[in-house]
């Protein structure tokens, strides 16, 4: 049995509480790994593994390292930690990258299973809100590193990848 299969078996048998604890432990290990190697590490899964049920728990994270700045750990999915324990939210947090380029900001979001007409983007002040209104629901609010001109927003959507460009002011 592979390590991934063993991990999936342990995750499905220990419930959501075990998953949240396991993710915390994994994040610590990955942070140590990220300090040693300039690379990208990504892990994801679902409960139960391979389930296509709408109510399933989807979780994951990406660790990005590079030559400038500390490693970044970004999470995605619909498992949330609450005071009463982990819960599965009806809305998922998509994996999103934000790039600060010379005169504009570039945002790339992964929205699998969503049609272009289901994606709504709003820019207000120093934040960008991304939501979907179809069968698969995603939501993410990004704090922007610079003021932008909302009227300059350009979007491209292809194969579940949303690319947004907005000019800085």
pLDDT in tens, 46-59: 555 444 455 567 77
Query: Which tokens hold the place of 164?
Result: 């947004």
User: What pLDDT, on a 0 to 100 scale, did the predictor assign at position 69?
Assistant: 67
Does the 94-167 domain belong in CATH 1.10.540.10? no
The low-confidence residues of the chain, meaning pLDDT below 70, are 1-24, 26-27, 29-56, 64-69
User: What pLDDT, on a 0 to 100 scale, did the predictor assign at position 166?
Assistant: 96
Full-model pTM: 0.59
Query: Which tokens hold the place of 82?
Result: 């609450």
What residue ranges of the chain are covered by domains with CATH 2.60.40.790?
94-167
CA 80 from centroid of its chain's CA atoms: 13
For the chain, the straight-line distance linking the first and the last C-alpha, in angstroms and rounded, comes to 55
3-class DSSP state of 132: strand
Residue 92 has φ and ψ, to the nearest 5°, of -95, 155
User: What pLDDT, on a 0 to 100 scale, did the predictor assign at position 9?
Assistant: 47
User: What pLDDT, on a 0 to 100 scale, did the predictor assign at position 87?
Assistant: 79
**CA separation for the pair 57, 44 (Å, rounded):** 11
């Amino acid at each position: 049995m592979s390590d991934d299969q063993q991990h999936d078996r342990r995750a499905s048998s220990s419930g959501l509480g075990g998953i949240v604890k396991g993710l915390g432990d994994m994040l610590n290990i990955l942070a140590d790994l990220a300090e040693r190697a300039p690379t990208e590490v990504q892990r994801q899964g679902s409960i139960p593994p391979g389930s296509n049920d709408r109510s399933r728990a989807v979780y994951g994270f990406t660790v990005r390292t590079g030559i400038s700045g500390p490693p970044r750990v970004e999470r995605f999915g619909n498992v949330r930690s609450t005071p009463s324990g982990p819960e599965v939210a009806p809305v998922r947090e998509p994996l999103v990258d934000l790039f600060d380029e010379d005169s504009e900001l570039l945002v790339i979001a992964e929205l699998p299973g969503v049609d272009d007409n289901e994606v709504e983007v709003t820019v207000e002040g120093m934040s960008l809100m991304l939501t979907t209104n179809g069968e698969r629901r995603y939501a993410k609010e990004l704090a922007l590193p610079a003021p932008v001109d909302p009227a300059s927003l350009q979007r491209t959507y292809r194969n579940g990848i949303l690319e947004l460009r907005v000019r800085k002011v």
